[in-house]
Amino acid sequence: MVKQAALSRRRNEFGRAEPERSTVRSSGIHHVDLVVSSIEQSLPFYTDLLGPIGYTRVSEVEGERGETIWYLTGPGASVGLREAQADQSHDRYAVGLHHVAFEASSRAQVDELARWVRTQGVEVENEPQEYTYSPGYYAFFFRDPDGIKLEVVHVPGLVAA
């Protein structure tokens, strides 16, 4: 059973609970919603993965089909998790999401989260290393319990304040 998360008491004009808003700068992405096969497996995974990088508030809202969406709110954005309503696996090379990258505050934090991910029984695609995408780009790539590709990255000078 999913642990009951601390819910936001803030309500929008429709009476629905809304995620707490961060006062940290945003890159322009407000939120991303991911569809997962099991909220009971994915909510603890994402809560433990994203907590150390500032996604510390969890709230619950009702989706357009009456489903529950769990929002993890962090530095300027939120990640929503909702349980699948269709039986179809994710293919990152089909139309849709390829991967999501989360910003870490340091290389050490990238390494720390990589150590944690290795204990979770999920696929690690690439160990932490520098990439040539931009100077100092340090990241690792892995898959969540449903196979969605994720990245944790640190780029000096680009960390949200």
Half-sphere exposure of 81 (CA within 13 A, CB side): 23
pLDDT tens digits along 84-109? 988 887 788 877 889 999 999 999 99
Is the pLDDT confidence value at 14 over 60? no
- Taking residues 40-63, what's their average pLDDT? 96
Could you give the CA distance from residue 116 to residue 124 in angstroms, rounded to a whole number?
11
* pTM assigned to the model: 0.77
Q: Measured between alpha carbons, how far is 43 from 39 in angstroms, rounded to an integer?
A: 5
Which single residue is written with the structure tokens 């695609």?
125
* Strand order across the beta sheet in which 138-143 lies: 99-103, 149-154, 138-143, 124-130
